[in-house]
Amino acid sequence: MWRLMCVTLALLACVKVFAHGPIYPRVAGGVNAPQGAWPWMVSVHKLNNHICGGSLITNEWVLSAAHFDVSSLRVYMGMWTQALVQPEEIMRNVRAIYTHKSYDYNTDNNDIALLWLSSPVSVNLHIKQVPLAAQGSVFPTGTSCKIIGWGKIGPKQNLPFPGILQEANVFVVDNVQCHEKLKNLRTYTRITDNMLCAGVPAGGVGPACGDSGGPLLTTDGCSQWVQSGITSSGYGCAQPNTPAVYTRVSQYQTWITDLIRIHPNQNLPQFVTLSFPCSSGSRSKIISHTDTAIHIYTSLTTY
């Protein structure tokens, strides 16, 4: 199994460990995303290098994965290319990082983290917050999703200058089918209810190094894009019948809301309940910011 993470060796470099196949650290099979198409996408940097992705969910909070090195991070918003600075870009340091207290490195269960930015950001045409899938959201097999991220296009080849954000289409695989497709791989552990699988049956399309922490996005055809998953781990590089694994965001509505709420004067994310199919008379339900129960913990480190 590989994790879509970047670590520091002598110099900061993207590294993935695969169960099978060569290393291709990128959104495999992706195309250039139009500028401004994904205004909630953020680039997490360490030592001036992109290491992972994330998504802006409020004006002070970024949602990402738990499995990467969390020290000395900077977050860039409004970014389209890694090589050319755009006037829309802004940067924030990270004030605090909260990983789930039950994150399991061996299985990637509960692979979720919240990054608290050093100061609020202003929403504009190029920087927006993404709605999150609410508890009870349903993602049937075959549901179309979008993955986005920056990364290399081969083991020794960087994403061509100027490093434009990549996007690709993948499709949901239900957890039972996902288990059947992955169970014979050498490093496979298990698929839990906290995970969501997606891929392309023929292979050739999927997330890779540098995409970790970025959003898996879903729309039911009659509402806006909603973040349904967090890019977490996978087996091989976009191999046929080998879905990638994402953290299922809808399982963490209470965790996300409660953690943000214990900080003073915070806006809360928007949660949307997705159900399929979408009809003209039935739109996805938008959950108000006050619908989640509050659980106050005695210490921030207990999450």
Active-site annotation, residues: 67, 111, 212
| Mean pLDDT in residue range 279-284 | 47
| Mean pLDDT in residue range 138-161 | 78
DSSP 301: G
CA distance 11 to 28: 24
CA distance 233 to 243: 10
Q: Residue 61: pLDDT band by 50, 70, 90 thresholds?
A: very high
pLDDT at residue 161, rounded to an integer: 78
Coil, helix or strand at residue 251: helix
* pLDDT higher than threshold 60 for residue 220: yes
* pLDDT higher than threshold 90 for residue 7: no
pLDDT at residue 3, rounded to an integer: 58
Q: Residue 279: pLDDT band by 50, 70, 90 thresholds?
A: low
* pLDDT higher than threshold 90 for residue 257: yes
pLDDT at residue 203, rounded to an integer: 81
* pLDDT higher than threshold 50 for residue 36: yes
* pLDDT higher than threshold 50 for residue 27: yes
pLDDT at residue 285, rounded to an integer: 58
**Which residue bears the tokens 């497709």?**
181
CA distance 147 to 262: 31
Higher pLDDT residue, 46 or 240? 46
Q: Residue 9: pLDDT band by 50, 70, 90 thresholds?
A: very low
- Scanning the chain, the segments in alpha helix (DSSP H) are 175-182, 253-261
pTM: predicted TM-score of the whole model, two decimal places: 0.85
- E strand map for the chain: 2-3, 5-8, 12-15, 31-32, 41-46, 49-56, 61-64, 73-77, 90-99, 113-117, 132-133, 144-149, 166-173, 195-199, 215-218, 226-234, 244-248, 271-273, 285-287
Q: Residue 301: pLDDT band by 50, 70, 90 thresholds?
A: very low
Q: Residue 25: pLDDT band by 50, 70, 90 thresholds?
A: very low
Q: Residue type at 26? A: R
- Scanning 62-127, the segments in alpha helix (DSSP H) are none
Domains in the chain (CATH in brackets) are 1-294 (2.40.10.10)
Percentage of the chain exceeding pLDDT 90: 58
